Amino acid sequence: MKPMIKYRGGKSKEIPNIMWHVPRFTGRYIEPFFGGGALFFYLEPRQAIINDINVKLMKFYRGVRDDYSNLRK
């Protein structure tokens, strides 16, 4: 899946280079500097914890998780 938003410093174009360094893993994916979440959306982990210091950004992702139909309107 592609990121939901375009974000300054996003890593979408770097995914082919980054993937070399991502081990196979089970369990929870943890992304403390989420931003546009390029790697998260590429990996599509089943369980994840995401975080970002940008409050508006986190409100947006909470809206996606908790109230997508309303957010979409």
Ligand X SMILES: C[S@@+](CC[C@H](N)C(=O)[O-])C[C@H]1O[C@@H](n2cnc3c(N)ncnc32)[C@H](O)[C@@H]1O
> Given the rule CB under 6 A, which residues bind ligand X?
9-11, 32-39, 51-54
Nearest residue to 3 via CA among 20, 48, 11 = 11
Whether 18 contacts 11, CB under 8 Å: yes
Residue nearer to ligand X on the CB measure, 8 or 73: 8
Residue nearer to ligand X on the CB measure, 33 or 68: 33
Residue nearer to ligand X on the CB measure, 62 or 73: 62
Rounded to a whole number of angstroms, the minimum distance from the CB of residue 22 to ligand X is 11
The distance between the two most distant Cα atoms of the chain, rounded to a whole number of Å, is 39
